[in-house]
Structure 1
Amino acid sequence: MKGWRAKGRFRKSLTNRYLLLISVAMIFMPILFPLASVFYWFVANTFMDVPPLPDKKYENGTVLEKMWHKEATQLEGASPEEIEQRLKSLRQAYPEVQMLWVDSDSRKRIELPVQEDMPALWSAQHTVQFMKNSVGADPFTVVAFIGDEGADEGFMVMRIPRKYISVQDPIASETTLYGLFMATMSGLFILVSWLFFVRIRKRLLRLRNAMTSPNEATGIPQPVTLTKLDEIGQLEEGYNDMVSQLEEGQRRQREEEELRKSLIASLSHDLRTPLTVIRSHIFSLEREPLSGRGKESLSLIEAKIGDLGGLIDNLLSYNLLTSGKVQLNLDAKDVLRLVKESAAAWYPVWEKAGIEPDIALREEPLIWNVDVLWFRRLLDNLFQNVVRHAQSGKYIGIYTEERQVEGGEETGALIISDRGPGFGSESHNKGAGIGLAVVDFLAKEMGLKCEVESSGEGTRITIWKPGSGGVYPGQELNPGGKQVRFEVDDM
């Protein structure tokens, strides 16, 4: 089967087909010349009024001229009756020839047939002028003296239309028809070559359109129908194989994604039960008399279980969000008010961890289209990361500033910063990655931008809405960018 396909591809190869086309043209070119002659001969004898050639008597002018001079020489000393009789005999043999005899007295003695332009008496001037006008003219004219030139027996004239002697060889003697035939054959070869490459170009454009027109649902280009087993057919076959591999890879990716999400969901739910049991036992142990070291270990266990519970919550949230099972309800809300409420809820946690909050928000509302529940979750993740990973800095800053966006417009931005060691340092508390992944996903879903800057001096997270200004229509931003500090107890 493979051998048959290889043989079929060899026969249908574009290279072989083009070489065959050139070879046929090269072989056919030497045949064009005789074909052109045959073509003219057919056209000339079928459609053109070409006078017939009477038994090859008019092969060329030289033969006629020699024949006429020979006849004139043989008539030397002949009587007028003999000359007249001989001219009549020649006239019967050459009926297309006009014949004239002028005697020694310059009188026209015989004319076959009679011509109106021939005078009866030939003067020397008229004779010279006639001979001068006949050179290279039509009809073809030959003047021969009877006998020797000094015999003074007059001369005889032969005239024949040149159409009888100029077409002595009908094959390939007409330049126009011959050139027309050659041009037609050359044009036919060019047309065949052009059609050959037009079909190639059409197939290549069809393949290009298929490559640049992916399916809207999958994003993968559509396969093409195989036409021929030539080089382009092999390219189409390879392209279809690539599309099949992409579709298979996408299918496996979807299966793996579904498996991952299912595994995370199952694992998260399965971990909640033992965590609940461990927390209940920790609560029981707290009532038992323990040494100082035991109480310290119990407190560390409780903290780690809290971290693990937060990580599980983040895993569940990220799994739900990326699977499309959660629909965000976006409404225009004053996000600064939500920030104040969330900060008030986290204040006891910061106080217990020794973190000093520095909150400076502007007076004007900052209106964004957000889902209140999930925006609170976004803030909780950011505040929780400060407690877990930047507790050593003993600081959290929550404030607003003006940020310039595209078009020169300014918009309000929310800043959350700390003075911890940064994300690049070693930390005993892991899990910041999934928490920030949830933050980044929620920000994108709400049409917000989230930028994280981290160094050894701390981390700065900026959230803003690009190109909106972040206020109600018609409401101006604080011209001076004034920051208003407030105490958590005031909210």
Structure 2
Amino acid sequence: MRWGRKQGRFRNSLTNRYLLFISMAMIFMPIMFPLASIFYWFVNDTFSERPPAPPGKYTSGAVLEKMWHEEAAGLSGASPKAIDQKLNSIRQEYPEISMFWVDGDNTTRLQLPVQPNVPEVWSALYTVQFMKNSLDSDPFTSVAYIGGEGSGEGFMVMQLPRKYLNVQQPIASEPALYGLFMALMSGLFILVSWLFFVRIRKRLLRLRSAMTSPHTVTGLPQPVTLTKHDEIGQLEEGYNDMVIQLEEGQRRQQEEEELRKSLIASLSHDLRTPLTVIRSHIFSMEREPLSAKGKESLSLIESKIEDLGGLIDNLLSYNLLTSGKVQLSMEPTDVLRIVKESAAAWYPVWEKAGIEPDIQVRDEPLRWNVDVLWFRRLLDNLFQNVVRHAQSGQYIGIHTEEREGLEGVLVISDHGPGIKSRSSNKGTGIGLAIVDHLTREMGLGCHVDSSDEGTRISIWKR
């Protein structure tokens, strides 16, 4: 069993498989040469159309031609009968050769075998044309003068199909075929190597596609199907485990989010009842005779209760917005008109808090596509944030600015201690969270610039 597990790990390792592949290739290379010889022999023996020739014959046309001229020179002064006997003797030794001879009177004599295209009498013109046509033609033709050139005893002609001259040679004399076999084997090795890496690349691309193609609903990457238990398979398995963990984390996050929203809704609802009771008792106590210090304490209690009521309203609003239960009704609106109306409503509050408003907005309308109701809520949160956290600066600025590439920018500023330097009066930041959420939902840009000298909140249309 242990040996089986080791074999499985070896087969499932890309490194081991590739090393085995290279080793087999190195072992196979030395035996390619004898295989090439066998391949050549098989191809030549199976597909060659050349008839077998006796060993030692027709190895060279020059050798054959030399033999023919020697035989012709040796027939000097021979009788026609002796010439016929010599040709018959040569014919017996070389049966593939056809031959004939012409005497000194230009008359065709013996033909072995009889050839219909050979004339009985040779004219000078026909002889010259025959010599010209026989040059480097098929069949291989050799003409030799009997008794030597200029003897006047005639000539004899030998013809042999050239296919008998192209006899099989040793493998070393066939470099083209041998090289072709070597090229085929090398190409096969390259092809197998290419297919090996193509399959690896295909699996990696499939994994990358799964990583970069999140689910349309969950937004999480998609798991992949395991194909093999090699290194890439282990990577795919680890990737699937990561996807499972992400799905579990998303599920827990959704459960916690639903629990938080439910808790905020229940808490906000439960807090309203005691606040209403407290407000009624404060109203009753205001009618009672109180000292100056008591009236001051009662006023402070009422102020804090109002802050707590605002916080509860903000919690409910944020809960509704983030849960997706609020559908914004977007329409083109002059937001500067809404800013002026909201600022007018906040004037008494600012005056009571000792805050000096500085409003400088342009005369031309600034039209943005917004939800009027929730844009007013956005402004109320910003104005309330100044009253709660920047009252010491005794200033609120509402301006419009022109910036390159933007239709107009609404800027709300204060001279308070800044967001990072707020005192114990600082809240939970739920008001600014609502502002940030609303600006995103209405397609607006929002930037907060805060320092010890104050805070600037810029809002613009994207």
Q: Which interval holds the TM-score relative to the shorter structure?
A: 0.7 to 0.9
In structure 2, what is the equivalent of residue 418 of structure 1? Answer: 414
C-alpha distance in structure 2 between counterparts of 1:10 and 1:266, whole Å: 58
Give 1:40's match in structure 2, choosing from 23, 40, 44: 44
C-alpha distance in structure 1 between counterparts of 2:14 and 2:413, whole Å: 72
In structure 2, what is the equivalent of residue 217 of structure 1? Answer: 217
How big is the shift at 1:97? 4.8
Give 1:451's match in structure 2, choosing from 447, 453, 457: 447
In structure 1, what is the equivalent of residue 402 of structure 2? Answer: 403
CA contact (8 A) 2:11 2:17 kept: no
How big is the shift at 1:27? 5.8
The reply on whether 1:19 has 2:18 as its aligned counterpart is no
C-alpha distance in structure 1 between counterparts of 2:6 and 2:28, whole Å: 31
CA contact (8 A) 1:60 1:168 kept: no
Deviation per CA, 1:290-320: give whole Å up to 9, x if none. 5554544444343333333322222221111
Percent of aligned positions that are identical: 62
CA contact (8 A) 1:37 1:171 kept: no
SS in 2 for 1:410: coil
Deviation per CA, 1:302-348: give whole Å up to 9, x if none. 33333333222222211111111122223444434433333333233
More moved, 24-33 vs 346-355: 24-33
Aligned pairs for 1:429-440 (under 5 A) are: 429-431=425-427, 433-440=429-436
CA contact (8 A) 1:385 1:432 kept: no
C-alpha distance in structure 1 between counterparts of 2:69 and 2:359, whole Å: 134
In structure 2, what is the equivalent of residue 476 of structure 1? Answer: none
In structure 1, what is the equivalent of residue 241 of structure 2? Answer: 241
CA contact (8 A) 1:12 1:230 kept: no
CA contact (8 A) 2:14 2:231 kept: no
How big is the shift at 1:404? 3.0
Residues 241 and 14 of structure 1, relative CA distance in 2, 3 Å threshold? farther
CA contact (8 A) 2:10 2:17 kept: no
Q: Could you tell me which amino acid in structure 2 is paired with residue 429 of structure 1?
A: N
C-alpha distance in structure 2 between counterparts of 1:355 and 1:451, whole Å: 23
Residues 218 and 21 of structure 1, relative CA distance in 2, 3 Å threshold? farther
Deviation per CA, 1:22-75: give whole Å up to 9, x if none. 45863663213431232122111xxx1x23324655566799799999999999
Residues 276 and 26 of structure 1, relative CA distance in 2, 3 Å threshold? farther
In structure 1, what is the equivalent of residue 354 of structure 2? Answer: 354
Give 1:29's match in structure 2, choosing from 22, 29, 32: 32
In structure 1, what is the equivalent of residue 323 of structure 2? Answer: 323
Q: Could you tell me which amino acid in structure 1 is paired with residue 339 of structure 2?
A: V
CA contact (8 A) 2:75 2:146 kept: no
C-alpha distance in structure 1 between counterparts of 2:5 and 2:325, whole Å: 50
C-alpha distance in structure 1 between counterparts of 2:285 and 2:200, whole Å: 83
In structure 2, what is the equivalent of residue 9 of structure 1? Answer: 12
CA contact (8 A) 2:411 2:458 kept: yes
How big is the shift at 1:365? 4.3
In structure 2, what is the equivalent of residue 228 of structure 1? Answer: 228
How big is the shift at 1:277? 4.3
Could you say which structure has the greater relative contact order, defined with CA pairs below 8 angstroms and 6 or more residues apart?
1
Residues 327 and 36 of structure 1, relative CA distance in 2, 3 Å threshold? same
Deviation per CA, 1:69-110: give whole Å up to 9, x if none. 99999999x99988875664454333345679999x999999
Q: Could you tell me which amino acid in structure 2 is paired with residue 346 of structure 1?
A: W
CA contact (8 A) 1:72 1:144 kept: yes
CA contact (8 A) 2:69 2:145 kept: yes
C-alpha distance in structure 1 between counterparts of 2:86 and 2:366, whole Å: 131
SS in 1 for 2:227: coil
C-alpha distance in structure 2 between counterparts of 1:307 and 1:134, whole Å: 121
How big is the shift at 1:429? 0.8
More moved, 58-67 vs 240-249: 58-67
SS in 1 for 2:217: coil
The alignment's TM-score, normalised by the length of structure 1, stands at 0.70
Aligned pairs for 1:217-366 (under 5 A) are: 217-286=217-286, 292-366=292-366
CA contact (8 A) 2:10 2:16 kept: no
Residues 255 and 73 of structure 1, relative CA distance in 2, 3 Å threshold? same
The reply on whether 1:465 has 2:461 as its aligned counterpart is yes
How big is the shift at 1:175? 6.3
The alignment's TM-score, normalised by the length of structure 2, stands at 0.74
More moved, 27-36 vs 189-198: 189-198
In structure 1, what is the equivalent of residue 168 of structure 2? Answer: 169
SS in 1 for 2:12: helix
Root-mean-square deviation (Å): 4.9
SS in 1 for 2:13: helix
Aligned pairs for 1:144-159 (under 5 A) are: 159=158
Deviation per CA, 1:162-210: give whole Å up to 9, x if none. 8476344356566666666555555555554444444444444433333
Residues 418 and 81 of structure 1, relative CA distance in 2, 3 Å threshold? closer
Deviation per CA, 1:442-472: give whole Å up to 9, x if none. 2222233333232222222233334xxxxxx
Uncovered stretches (5+) of structure 2, i.e. residues with no partner: none
More moved, 420-429 vs 301-310: 301-310
How big is the shift at 1:261? 2.0
Residues 144 and 390 of structure 1, relative CA distance in 2, 3 Å threshold? same
Q: Could you tell me which amino acid in structure 2 is paired with residue 435 of structure 1?
A: G
Q: How many equivalent pairs are there? A: 447
C-alpha distance in structure 2 between counterparts of 1:118 and 1:20, whole Å: 73
How big is the shift at 1:438? 0.9
C-alpha distance in structure 1 between counterparts of 2:449 and 2:161, whole Å: 104
Q: Could you tell me which amino acid in structure 2 is paired with residue 308 of structure 1?
A: L
Uncovered stretches (5+) of structure 1, i.e. residues with no partner: 121-125, 467-491
CA contact (8 A) 2:99 2:157 kept: yes
C-alpha distance in structure 1 between counterparts of 2:253 and 2:30, whole Å: 59
CA contact (8 A) 1:417 1:458 kept: yes
CA contact (8 A) 1:38 1:171 kept: no
CA contact (8 A) 1:41 1:170 kept: no
C-alpha distance in structure 1 between counterparts of 2:415 and 2:332, whole Å: 32
Aligned pairs for 1:113-192 (under 5 A) are: 113=112, 139=140, 159=158, 161=160, 163=162, 166-169=165-168, 172=171, 187-192=187-192
Residues 371 and 198 of structure 1, relative CA distance in 2, 3 Å threshold? same
Residues 293 and 14 of structure 1, relative CA distance in 2, 3 Å threshold? farther
